[in-house]
Amino acid sequence: MSSPKELITTILSSVFERCGWDVALIDVVPSPDTRFGDYATPVALKLAKILEKSPQEVATLIIEDIKSNPKNEYIDSISFESGFINFRMSDLFYKEALQAILKEGPRNGVKATEGEEQEGRGKTVVLDYFQLNIAKQPHVGHLRSAVIGDALKRILLSRGYRVVADTHVGDWGTQFGILLYAYKKAVQGNEREIDAIKNDPFIKLQELYVIANQEEDIHEKGKMEFAKLEKGDSENRSIWKWMVEISMKKLEDNAARLKLLSFEEHRGESAYEEAMPLIVELALTRGVAKKTEDGAVVVDLTKEGLDEAVLVKSDGATTYLLRDLATIQYRKVHYDFWKNLYVVDNRQSHHFRQVFRVAELLGFEGVEASEHIEFGFMKLPEGAMSTRKGNVILLTAVLDEAERRARAVIYEKNPNLHNVDEVAKQIGLGAIKFFDLSHNRKSDIVFHWEDALSFEGKTGPYIQYTCARLKSILRKSADEIGDAFPEGVVLDAEERELLLHCARIPETIQRVIDAWLPHLLVDHLFELAQSANEFYHSHPILTEHDEGKRKTLLVIVRAVTTTLSRGLYLLGIDAPEEM
């Protein structure tokens, strides 16, 4: 069964074709209020002007046409009110919707259901996210890329897409040169310092990095060290290799703690070393780029308002723009992607516009399928976070604190819970991820501890709690809970609304994929959880005397639980059995 929106669109399409109207005018929206119906279309309003008839006349035409054809058994009634044609779904629709929801199962998020048509089949999406820098500890700002990227990956997989997740680690460039300089200066003729650094590399290297940045000509020094590294200097290479190794290990630890799905690729920027000279050559021979007097290679985009794009610096070192060009090429060749997405904060939008424009000028394939999924960056109430200024909140600190608070609440509310540690982790992480994902990707987020780690209201734990409550009802039920309504049941308005809310999830997921906005799913799940809370507060379920009614309520609870768990899974949030 297709989604109700598709169903109604199809019905309208055949009317439009019969009448010779432009099907592009068709628009189906959920009704703002169930008293109108379940879905509505404003097509009568749009056509009225074109056909020079009143909306009422047009609507009558459409409704008559639909009624003159065999009745669609998923539609119960069609009505017209204040310009809108309203559709109400039939009990058969609800019956089948229920089965579709239960068939999918709660934990089946990444598996395509057999035989089901999925729009993602045969399409590969390359997702670039969680791009950590070498030898730096991730802070809360890094959370956004990780969480948004991971959610998009889960959502895409659920629709049958193949996803290649790549961290694209920042392991190359001048910043790395600065780190090399700082390290070498510290250990010069000082064996003990080497051990000290190796014992606690992340803290020590960060300190050294901050100190080195205070030197006036640090930029030149860093560039020199990086140029040496790039030209193959053996000492720099071996230090670099060690730093990359420990950093990748750290990255894996962080990814595991965040419970991110695994990455298919860890191709850092350094992986594109060999491809870069060829691109420079191509750019020069095609006349896209030119060499400046001091030996740099640049593409002049000033006429397009994109300034000058530098591929190679005058000291011969490459830029990350050049590496990103090589990355597009590599990904297109190796994965033949349908989309190539970069989940990176919006401070880099200018950079990506340059990358895509230069790639276009070079005639690269896959440019139009490449997109910067920009997000607003996370800042503190007092301003931007900066490693160099030292005012960062480390990711681990936030996770630790979230867990600690979750544990405190569990001791207060449910002291007998047997797996406190596990659940505290699930709740803490759920709160943080949900906080991040609930914001529109494009807005900046101000990090307030109280908001980010809240467990009440529109939060991850609210949905987790709702889910746990529903699961508890199912556990305590003495009835056999099937996957269908009892024979002859007639659903009431509340029951229909709750089920429709579940059945609409695929429509929301489609919208998430269309605009790469996971918060739409977050909102939908929150609203569903709200309805569910309201529902079980007003309907005693286990004590309902009428067996048919009781079984109906139970099977609806099962559908809602399944939908919520599955939705949380798609956001990368666990749904504990009890909390």
Partner RNA sequence: GUCCCCGUAGUUCAACGGAUAGAACGAGGGACUUCUAAUCCCUAGAUAGAGGUUCGAUUCCUCUCGGGGGCACCA
Of residues 287 through 316, those in contact with RNA by CB under 7 A are 292, 294, 296, 298, 305, 307-308, 310, 313-315
Q: Is 344 helix (H, G, I), strand (E, B) or coil?
A: strand
Tokens of 206: 């960060």
DSSP state of 550: H
Tokens of 571: 């956001």
Binding mask 221-240 for RNA (x = CB under 7 A): --x--x--------------
Q: How far apart are CA 365 and CA 358, in angstroms?
A: 12
Count of CB atoms situated within 10 Å of the CB of 481: 13
Nearer residue to RNA within complex by CB, 247 or 454: 454
Amino acid at position 221, single letter: K
> Which residues, at least 6 apart from 107, have a Cβ–Cβ distance to it below 8 Å?
565, 566, 569
Min separation Cβ 307 and RNA, Å: 3
- What DSSP assignment string belongs to 56-119? HHHHHHHHHHHHHSPPPTTEEEEEEETTEEEEEE-HHHHHHHHHHHHHH-TT-TTSPPTT---T
Among 138, 141, 170, 506, binds RNA (CB under 7 A): 170
Asked if residue 533 binds RNA (CB under 7 A), the reply is yes
Nearer residue to RNA within complex by CB, 232 or 305: 305
Q: Which of residues 241-270 bind RNA (CB under 7 A)?
A: 269
Among 36, 202, 242, 338, binds RNA (CB under 7 A): 36
Asked if residue 167 binds RNA (CB under 7 A), the reply is no
Min separation Cβ 514 and RNA, Å: 8
Q: Which of residues 405-424 bind RNA (CB under 7 A)?
A: 406, 409-410, 413-414, 423
Q: How far apart are CA 438 and CA 434, in angstroms?
A: 6
Q: Which of residues 484-503 bind RNA (CB under 7 A)?
A: none
Among 192, 303, 418, 537, binds RNA (CB under 7 A): 537
Tokens of 35: 């008293």
Asked if residue 27 binds RNA (CB under 7 A), the reply is yes
Among 137, 526, 552, 569, binds RNA (CB under 7 A): 526
**Part in contact with RNA (CB under 7 A); list of ranges 32-40, 257-265, 277-285, 559-567:** 32-40
Q: Which of residues 424-453 bind RNA (CB under 7 A)?
A: 427, 438-440, 442-446, 451
- What DSSP assignment string belongs to 351-373? HHHHHHHHHHHTT-TTSTTEEEE
Answer yes or no: are the C-beta atoms of 362 and 356 closer than 8 Å: no
Min separation Cβ 231 and RNA, Å: 14
Q: How far apart are CA 556 and CA 562, in angstroms?
A: 10
Asked if residue 192 binds RNA (CB under 7 A), the reply is no
Q: Which of residues 100-139 bind RNA (CB under 7 A)?
A: 133
Q: Which of residues 197-216 bind RNA (CB under 7 A)?
A: none
Q: How far apart are CA 204 and CA 136, in angstroms?
A: 10
Answer yes or no: are the C-beta atoms of 248 and 169 closer than 8 Å: yes
CA atoms within 13 A on the CB side of 6: 9
Min separation Cβ 86 and RNA, Å: 5
Asked if residue 472 binds RNA (CB under 7 A), the reply is yes
Min separation Cβ 99 and RNA, Å: 24
Asked if residue 77 binds RNA (CB under 7 A), the reply is no
Q: Which of residues 543-562 bind RNA (CB under 7 A)?
A: 543
**Part in contact with RNA (CB under 7 A); list of ranges 94-102, 151-159, 248-256, 523-531:** 523-531
Nearer residue to RNA within complex by CB, 124 or 318: 318
Greatest extent of the chain over all pairs of C-alpha atoms, in Å: 92
Strand partners for 344: 374
Min separation Cβ 93 and RNA, Å: 18
**Residues in the chain, how many?**
579
Amino acid at position 365, single letter: E
Number of H helices, E strands in the chain: 21, 13
Among 206, 319, 340, 565, binds RNA (CB under 7 A): 319
Asked if residue 60 binds RNA (CB under 7 A), the reply is no
Nearer residue to RNA within complex by CB, 360 or 444: 444
Min separation Cβ 80 and RNA, Å: 9
